[in-house]
Amino acid sequence: MEQIRKFTLEFFRSLKADVKEDGDVLVVSNVPKSFEDLFGKISPYQLCFSGGVKDCEFVGKGSAVLAAMTKYLEGSGKATLLKIDFDTHSGHKNLSGGIDPEVEIFKRLDLKNCEIANLVKKNRNNFFSRFTFMTTFRYLNESEQIVNEVYVHDGKVVNGSLDGYFVTEGSGVGCRVSELNTKKDYEIAREKVKELLKGRTAELGEMLSRKVDVEIARIKEHYGNQMRELGGDLGGTLEKVKEVELKLRTAEDSEKEGLRARLERLRNSLVKIGDDDSHARVLKEQEFTIKDVIHKYSLNVDNKLVNTTVIYYPVYSFRLCLKESGVRCSVAGNRRFLEMSYDPLTRSLGKIFCESCKKAISRLNLCSAGHISCDECLDHCSECGKVFCANCLKRSCSVCAKVLCKNCTTMCLGCGKYVCRNHMRKDCVTGDERCVNCLRVCLRCHGMAQERYFGEARDGSKVCSKCLGKENLSQRLKFSRD
Ligand SMILES: [Zn+2]
Ligand SMILES: [Zn+2]
Ligand SMILES: [Zn+2]
Ligand SMILES: [Zn+2]
Ligand SMILES: [Zn+2]
Ligand SMILES: [Zn+2]
């Protein structure tokens, strides 16, 4: 029992959870999500080590907590599949289905001259991953552990937290974690962890390198002395021999032994002078000692992936049919089908763009031809008065320059230009429709006809061939009467 208690204590401490000992009970809070999800319960936990304590989770052979801890450490709980249920909010069930498409749409979009005739909510699954890394820094006799949880969504690290979401054990999604491709997300998460560890790594690195510098300086001094004693410096050594001999003469008895030993060493080193071998040996020894010290003061960083959790949640697709405001459904007005995606996690609704200027809009106008338009791109047809988008109002009358919709323009077959209804007339000679620019007024009948149907009347005025024909006819009749 004591062993299990110790193990539990160490386990939660290494997870950087808050552990409090309250008599026989261990109160653990602030536990990493990856453990909570694996265990299936949200912290704080009240743990006890002998059965039958009220409101406590028993930890012992065969208990769920112990199993979860072992599983976590082994990494066999490495892959978890979780589902976020937006339709069920933690605690209270929302029968209407959690997310109301109309509410979400109207929060972001103002329907100006149209309304929703019909709306269907569909959903598909979207995924994101959470990686839990346990990093152990080892240096000198210390070891320090840090747990990091990184969320990756759509190829990017996100500030994730499942707090406040209703999470259920994933099932029915039709695939296992191993089948989902988390490799790319993992690479991204690993880079993020490196970044997160940078600060602590640098701190420890600096502390160790300061220590190692001191050690190396000490080693160099030590071997430097040896080298000096070894020689190269014959004069210096002789000097020292003389110095020690002098001291020995006047020294107290107690010092004599030390001085004699020193003298011995100096004399020996005199013999060794010029001995390259011993030189090289000292250098080599110094090199080894330095290497040893560097190794001893090195920082060992061990990153272990403890858990991968794939979290899936529904992304909605709202399929809606817009219709002109005030028009009854049975009446065939202009309609428009629209599909918007809604991500309940990021609470973002797919953007709607003006089909004329392509800008994203928050106020939607429906053009009479069913196009989506922003306020700026919407205008009236000067003829019929209906609202149209800029794309539908590209034509204008070549005579009066009025802006017109497609329905209100006619192309003149004489000049090929568009004109309004008012400036399109009937040729009084042929009955063809022509624009007023292609016609000329006959001063006799006040009708209009194309230039080529004009001729000179008897009084010299230009008249249409109809009037000309009448004149000729009456002339002939007059002749025949005469
Ligand atoms: Zn526009
Ligand atoms: Zn019109
Ligand atoms: Zn339009
Ligand atoms: Zn006109
Ligand atoms: Zn014309
Ligand atoms: Zn005429």
Amino acid making up residue 47: L
User: In angstroms, what is the span from residue 390 Cα to ligand 3's centroid?
Assistant: 7
- 435 alpha carbon, closest ligand: 5
Q: Are residues 61 and 100 in the same domain?
A: no
Residue 47: give the domain boundaries: 1-77
Position 412 pLDDT exceeds 90: yes
**Is 264 inside a domain boundary?**
no
Close Cβ partners of 383 (under 8 Å, ≥ 6 residues apart): 402, 404, 405, 408, 420, 421
- Among 10, 45, 77, the domain-final residue is 77
Q: Are residues 326 and 187 in the same domain?
A: yes
**Is 437 inside a domain boundary?**
yes
- 394 alpha carbon, closest ligand: 3
- 354 alpha carbon, closest ligand: 1
User: In angstroms, what is the span from residue 65 Cα to ligand 3's centroid?
Assistant: 64
- 419 alpha carbon, closest ligand: 4
By C-alpha distance, which of 347, 345, 323 is closest to 336? Answer: 323
Q: Structural domain tally of the chain?
A: 3
8-state DSSP, 93: B
Asked if residue 125 lies in contact with residue 317, where contact means CB atoms within 8 angstroms, the answer is no
- As given in the structure block, the two tokens for residue 220 are 């160099």
- For the chain, helix, strand, coil in percent to 5 are 40, 30, 30
Close Cβ partners of 169 (under 8 Å, ≥ 6 residues apart): 40, 81, 82, 83
- 358 alpha carbon, closest ligand: 1
Whole-prediction pTM value?
0.53
Q: Are residues 300 and 168 in the same domain?
A: yes
**Is 131 inside a domain boundary?**
yes
Q: Are residues 1 and 31 in the same domain?
A: yes
Rounded to whole angstroms, the Cα distance separating 66 from 64 reads 6
Between 338 and 182, where is the model more confident? 338
**Is 320 inside a domain boundary?**
yes
pLDDT of residue 276: 65
* Average pLDDT value for residue range 142-154: 84
User: Where residue 173 falls among pLDDT bands split at 50, 70, 90?
Assistant: very low
Q: Are residues 84 and 121 in the same domain?
A: yes
pLDDT tens per residue, range 310-330: 888 888 899 999 988 876 655
User: In angstroms, what is the span from residue 22 Cα to ligand 2's centroid?
Assistant: 82
**Is 256 inside a domain boundary?**
no
- As given in the structure block, the two tokens for residue 26 are 């261990």
> 226-250: buried (b, 16+ CB within 10 Å) or exposed (e) per residue?
bbebbbeeeeebeebbeebeeeeee
Q: Are residues 297 and 432 in the same domain?
A: no
Q: Are residues 4 and 123 in the same domain?
A: no
Q: Are residues 425 and 457 in the same domain?
A: yes
User: In angstroms, what is the span from residue 432 Cα to ligand 2's centroid?
Assistant: 23
**Is 183 inside a domain boundary?**
yes
* Lowest mean pLDDT segment, chosen from 153-157, 211-215, 339-343: 153-157
Q: Are residues 137 and 214 in the same domain?
A: yes
Q: Which neighbouring-strand residues pair with 137?
A: 144, 301
- 444 alpha carbon, closest ligand: 6
By C-alpha distance, which of 114, 151, 101, 76 is closest to 341? Answer: 101
Amino acid making up residue 416: G
Q: Are residues 54 and 102 in the same domain?
A: no
* Average pLDDT value for residue range 421-439: 94
Close Cβ partners of 19 (under 8 Å, ≥ 6 residues apart): 9, 12, 13, 26, 27, 28
Q: Are residues 58 and 174 in the same domain?
A: no
Asked if residue 270 lies in contact with residue 262, where contact means CB atoms within 8 angstroms, the answer is no
pLDDT of residue 168: 62
3-class SS of residue 420: coil
**Is 438 inside a domain boundary?**
yes
User: In angstroms, what is the span from residue 396 Cα to ligand 2's centroid?
Assistant: 10
Burial of 476 from C-beta contacts in 10 A (0-12 / 13-18 / 19+): exposed
* Average pLDDT value for residue range 184-196: 91
By C-alpha distance, which of 17, 18, 27 is closest to 57? Answer: 27
8-state DSSP, 472: H
Position 358 pLDDT exceeds 90: yes
Percentage of residues in the chain with pLDDT exceeding 90? Answer: 38
- Among 350, 381, 414, the domain-final residue is 350
Rounded to whole angstroms, the Cα distance separating 51 from 214 reads 55
CA dihedral 148, 152, 158, 161 (to 10 degrees): -60
pLDDT of residue 299: 93
Q: Are residues 121 and 67 in the same domain?
A: no
User: In angstroms, what is the span from residue 78 Cα to ligand 2's centroid?
Assistant: 66
Alpha-carbon distance values, 370 to 12, 105, 367 (Å): 62, 19, 5
**Is 125 inside a domain boundary?**
yes
Sort strands 79-84 and 300-324 into parallel, antiparallel or unpaired: parallel
User: In angstroms, what is the span from residue 324 Cα to ligand 4's centroid?
Assistant: 28
Rounded to whole angstroms, the Cα distance separating 31 from 13 reads 10
pLDDT tens per residue, range 444-474: 999 999 999 999 988 888 999 999 998 888 8
- Among 319, 335, 350, the domain-final residue is 350
